[in-house]
A and B are shown apart, each in its own frame.
Chain A
Amino acid sequence: MITLSFKIKKQNIKPFVLAFIFLLSLKAVSQNNFNFGFYPKLNFSYKTSKNLKLSTKIESGQLFYSKSILNNDWNYSYEFTEISVFASSKIYSNSSLNFGYMSKIDEGNLSHRLIEQFTLAKKYNGFRLGHRFAADQSFKTFNDIRLRLRYRISYETALSGQNIDPKEYYLKLTNEYLYSIENDKMNFEIRLSPAIGKEINKKNKIEYSFDYRFGKLLDKVKVNSLWFRLAFYFNAK
Chain B
Amino acid sequence: MKKLILILSLISSFSLAFSQTKFEREYSINYEDVPEKAKDFINKAFNNNKIKWYKEVSQDGISLEAKTKFQKHYFSIEFDTLGNIQDVEKKVKFKKLSKDTQELIKNSIESVFDKYRINKIQIHWKSDDNTLIELINSKINNKEFTISYEIVIESKSEQGPKLYELLISDTGNIIRKSKIEQRSYDNLEF
> Which of B94-102, B123-131, B157-165 lies at the interface with chain A?
B157-165
Question: Nearest residue in B to A4 (C-beta to C-beta)?
Answer: B16
The reply to whether the CB of A109 lies closer than 8 angstroms to some CB of chain B is no
Question: What is the predominant secondary structure among interface residues of chain A facing chain B?
Answer: strand
A190 contacts the other chain (CB 8 A): no
Please report the total number of B residues contacting A with Cβ < 8 Å.
44
Contact call B26/A161, Cβ cutoff below 8 A = yes
Chain B 87-138 residues near chain A, CB threshold 8 A: 117
A132 touches B18 (CB 8 A): no
- Give chain B residues whose Cβ lies under 8 Å from the Cβ of A96: 189
Which listed residue (A130, A166, A208) contacts B23, Cβ 8 A? Answer: A166
B187 x A93 contact (CB < 8 A): no
Are B184 and A93 within 8 A (Cβ)? no
A156 in the interface (beta carbon within 8 A): yes
Q: Is B140 an interface residue (CB 8 A)?
A: no
A9 to B54, CA, bound (A): 13
Chain B: CB-nearest residue to A49:
B160
The interface stretch among A22-30, A135-143, A178-186, A196-204 is A196-204
Q: How far is the CA of A1 from the CA of B5 in the complex (A)?
A: 12
Assess whether A93 is in contact with B154, with CB atoms less than 8 Å apart: yes
The 8 A CB mask of A217-237 against B (1 = contact, 0 = none) is: 000000000001011010100
> Does A164 lie at the interface of the complex (its beta carbon under 8 Å from any beta carbon of B)?
yes
Residues of B within 8 A of A132 (CB): 188-189
> Could you say which of B13, B18, B23, B26 has the most chain A C-beta atoms within 10 Å of its C-beta?
B26
**Interface check A14, CB cutoff 8 A:** no
Provided the pairs A2-B16, A160-B27 are in contact, do residues A121 and B160 lie with their beta carbons within 8 angstroms?
no
Contacts of A160 in B (CB 8 A): 24, 27-28
Question: Once the chains bind, are A164 and B183 in contact (CB under 8 Å)?
Answer: yes
Q: Please report the C-alpha to C-alpha distance between residue A19 and residue B21 in the assembled complex, in whole angstroms.
A: 30
Pick the residue among A93, A197, A200 that contacts B18 (CB under 8 A): A200
Q: Within the complex, what minimum Cβ distance (angstroms) separates B83 from chain A?
A: 20
CB interface residues, A 85-131, toward B, < 8 Å = 86, 88, 90-94, 96, 98, 117, 119, 121, 125, 128, 130
| A50 smallest CB distance to B (angstroms) | 4
Cα distance A233–B187 in the bound complex, in angstroms: 7
**A203 CA to B190 CA, complexed, in Å:** 14
Bound-state CA distance A130–B186 (Å) is 10
- Cβ-defined partner of A165 (8 Å) among B11, B24, B74: B24
CB-based contact B1/A130 at 8 Å = no
Q: For A16, list chain B residues within 8 Å (CB).
A: none
Q: Given A50-B159, A206-B15: A45 and B183 within 8 A (CB)?
A: no
Residues of A within 8 A of B22 (CB): 5-6, 167-168
CA of A92 to CA of B162, assembled, Å? 8
